[in-house]
Chains A and B, each alone.
Chain A
Amino acid sequence: DVKVTQSSRYLVKRTGEKVFLECVQDMDHENMFWYRQDPGLGLRLIYFSYDVKMKEKGDIPEGYSVSREKKERFSLILESASTNQTSMYLCASSFPPGVQGVHYGYTFGSGTRLTVV
């Protein structure tokens, strides 16, 4: 089974701290994504990456950055955490078109619930 592992299920950080959320996948997927999930707002795309050292801004990149030094690992960085970044963060991965199967569905990690106090 494809596995996407997020390093922490729950995190509590203080305002102004630098926060790293780690995501590792074991299926050699080229594409990786970071979303945040908030009640009533669904999933919002923060950043994504189609290859090592590549990154693209999603819909809400402000206050975040990412790092993709290795194919299997995609890190989300909160440079200076703020209370409005309290949320559930979801990492996902997928193959690009034409490589595997036909539906390009995402595989998600279990999520990291971050609370900034």
Chain B
Amino acid sequence: GEDVEQSLFLSVREGDSSVINCTYTDSSSTYLYWYKQEPGAGLQLLTYIFSNMDMKQDQRLTVLLNKKDKHLSLRIADTQTGDSAIYFCAESPGYQKVTFGTGTKLQVIP
């Protein structure tokens, strides 16, 4: 079945860039997503990318997709303490079911 893998933890200093990586196995993935979960809250859709794109930029967020290697990354520029959260990578073949990774906990050190 489909699988989405992420490292569990990342620590960065405030003001540095953060890069969160994700690999997936489903070659029919059409949509790839990044969600953010703040403590005690549900998941919030941060951004998404279609599989026919290589890159998408949205303010401080840059998503890079290497479809050949099935590798997705999220770069957060100028990381702030408010960016501390768990970040989930997810993929979907384009219909209902979305598969989520286990989440990467980002710790921002002041």
Chain A, residues 84-97, CB within 8 Å of chain B (1/0): the string is 00000010101011
Q: Are B33 and A105 in contact (CB under 8 A)?
A: yes
Size of the B side of the interface (Cβ < 8 Å), in residues, is: 23
Q: How far is the CB of A52 from chain B (nearest CB, A)?
A: 15
Interface residues on A, range: 20 to 34
In the bound assembly, the distance between CA atoms of A97 and B98 in angstroms comes to 12
Q: Are B94 and A97 in contact (CB under 8 A)?
A: yes
Q: Are B103 and A108 in contact (CB under 8 A)?
A: no
Q: Are A42 and B100 in contact (CB under 8 A)?
A: yes
Chain B, residues 74-110, CB within 8 Å of chain A (1/0): the string is 0000000000000010001011111011110000000
Q: Select which of B31, B42, B88 is within 8 A of A103 by beta carbon.
A: B31
Q: Are B103 and A111 in contact (CB under 8 A)?
A: no
Q: How far is the CB of A79 from chain B (nearest CB, A)?
A: 25
Contacts of A60 in B (CB 8 A): none
Q: Are A105 and B48 in contact (CB under 8 A)?
A: yes
Q: How far is the CB of B23 from chain A (nearest CB, A)?
A: 14
In the bound assembly, the distance between CA atoms of A109 and B41 in angstroms comes to 8
What is the interface of chain B, defined by CB distance below 8 A to chain A? 8, 31, 33, 35, 40-45, 48, 50, 88, 92, 94-98, 100-103
